[in-house]
Amino acid sequence: MRKPFIAGNWKMNTDGHSGPELVRAIGKGLAQVDMSKVDVAVIPPFVYLTQIITAAKASRIAVGAQDIFYEQKGAFTGEISANMIKDVGCNYCLCGHSERRHVIGEGDELINKKVHAAINGGLLPILCIGELLEEREANRTDQVIERQVKKGFANLSMEKARAVTLAYEPVWAIGTGRTATPQQAQEVHAMIRGLVAELYDKSLADDMRIQYGGSVKPDNAKELMEKEDIDGLLVGGASLKADDFLAIIKASIAA
Ligand code: 13P
C-alpha cells in the first residue's frame, strides 16, 4: 500500500509573517489527524525555508524547496544547491515544475541533472511532468509523458529511482480551475506506472508514489484520491489556505 502524500506548493506567495502563520495553522489542524496514514509537506519560497522549518518543528509537516541547481557549490550566482537545501533541514525538492519548464524554459536534460543532484545531496525529488493543452488536444499526451519520464529518470540507478516521487500536473489544469477528471488523471497515472515498470521493475513501480496536481480543491480531492494509481496531491492555490489544505489532507485519508 502506498501512503498518501499531500504537498502544498506555495509558489511565489506568502511572506515572513503569513508563511509561519500558515504552517502553524496547518500543524494545529493536523494534531487531530492520524499522521501514520498520510505524509504532508509544504514547499515555500527559498528565502523563508528556515523560518518555515522552525515554525513546523512541533508538527509532522515536512518542508521542501521549489527547485535546486545541479552543481554542489561554486560560481553559480543566484543558484541554490541540494546540499544547502538539505543543510537547512529540508527533505524534499521539486524538479521540473511546469512553471519552471514553461515560464523559465527548463528542459528535460537540465531537469534530469537536478533529479540526480537532489538524490546525491540527500533530498527526495518530486519530479513534475505534464502535457500542455495543445499536446492533449493533438492526442500527444502519452508521447509527451513518456519523453518526460524517460528523460527525467535517465541514468538513475534502481536504488536512486526509489527516492523519486512523481507528480502528474497537466499544464492546462494548473491554476485554471479546470481539474482533470479523476478518470483522465487515472489513465495517465496508470500509463506512468507502466513506464516506470518498463524502465525498472514492477515492484519499484508499485511502490512509487504518483501525485496529481492541477486545481485540486477540498471538493475534488477525495474523488481523485479514490483512483487506484493516484497516491497523493500536489496542491497550489488551495495550499495557501490552512482550512482548504487541511480539508484536502482529510479527504485524502478518507478516500
Ligand atoms: P493549482 O493547485 O493552483 O492549480 O497549482 C497546481 C500546481 O502547480 C502545484 O504544483
Cα-Cα-Cα-Cα dihedral sign, residues 201, 204, 206, 208: negative
- Mean pLDDT, range 65-81, rounded to an integer: 98
Ligand 1 pocket member 213 (CB < 6 A): yes
What mean pLDDT comes out for the span 1-23? Answer: 97
Which residue blocks in 167-225 are alpha helix, DSSP H?
Answer: 182-199, 202-207, 218-225
Q: Is 41 in the pocket of ligand 1 (CB under 6 A)?
A: no
Percent of the chain with pLDDT over 70: 100
Q: Which of 99, 106, 131, 169 is catalytic?
A: 169
Bridge partners, 75 (sequence order): none
Q: According to the model, what pLDDT value does residue 221 have?
A: 98
**Minimum-distance ligand 1 atom for the alpha carbon of 128:** 10
Q: Is the pLDDT of residue 1 over 90?
A: no
Is the CB–ligand 1 distance for residue 175 below 6 Å? yes
Closest CA to 162 of 125, 194, 204: 204
Measured from the Cα of 175, ligand 1's closest atom is 4
195 in ligand 1 pocket by Cβ < 6 Å?
A: no
190 Cα: distance to centroid of ligand 1 (angstroms): 21
- Please report where in the chains the cell 546525491 appears, as a residue: 120
CA distance 245 to 215: 12
- Per the prediction, the chain carries an average pLDDT of 97
Q: What is the pLDDT of residue 178?
A: 84
Residue 169 among the catalytic residues: yes
Q: 255 versus 126: which is more confidently predicted?
A: 126
51-78: average pLDDT: 97
Q: Is the CB of 9 under 6 A from ligand 1?
A: yes
pLDDT at 124: 98
The reply to whether ligand 1 has any atom less than 6 angstroms from the CB of 174 is: yes
pLDDT tens digits, one per residue of 207-234: 999 999 999 999 999 999 999 999 999 9
- Residue 103 pLDDT > 90, yes or no? yes
DSSP string across 62-91: EEEES--BSSSSSS-TT--BHHHHHHTT--
Residue 177 — very low, low, confident or very high, per pLDDT cuts 50/70/90? confident
- Examine the pLDDT at 35 and tell me if it is beyond 90: yes
> Does pLDDT of 175 surpass 90?
no
- At 179, the pLDDT band (50, 70, 90 cuts) reads confident
Q: Tell me, in angstroms, the distance from the centre of ligand 1 to residue 239's CA.
A: 9
User: How far is the C-alpha of 108 from the C-alpha of 114, rounded, in Å?
Assistant: 10
What stretches of 98-198 adopt beta strand conformation (E)?
124-129, 165-168
Residue 148 CA to residue 170 CA, distance in Å, equals 12
**Ligand 1 pocket mutation, candidates 215, 240, 248, criterion most atoms within 8 A of CB:** 215
Our mutation pick for probing the ligand 1 site, out of 67, 169, 172, counting the most ligand atoms within 8 A of Cβ, is 169
Question: Which ligand 1 atom sits closest to the C-alpha of 215?
Answer: 4
Predicted confidence band at 195 (pLDDT cuts at 50, 70, 90)? very high
Ligand 1 centroid to Cα of residue 53, in Å, is 22
pTM, entire model:
0.98
**Res. 78: pLDDT tops 90:** yes
- Region 115-132 average pLDDT: 98
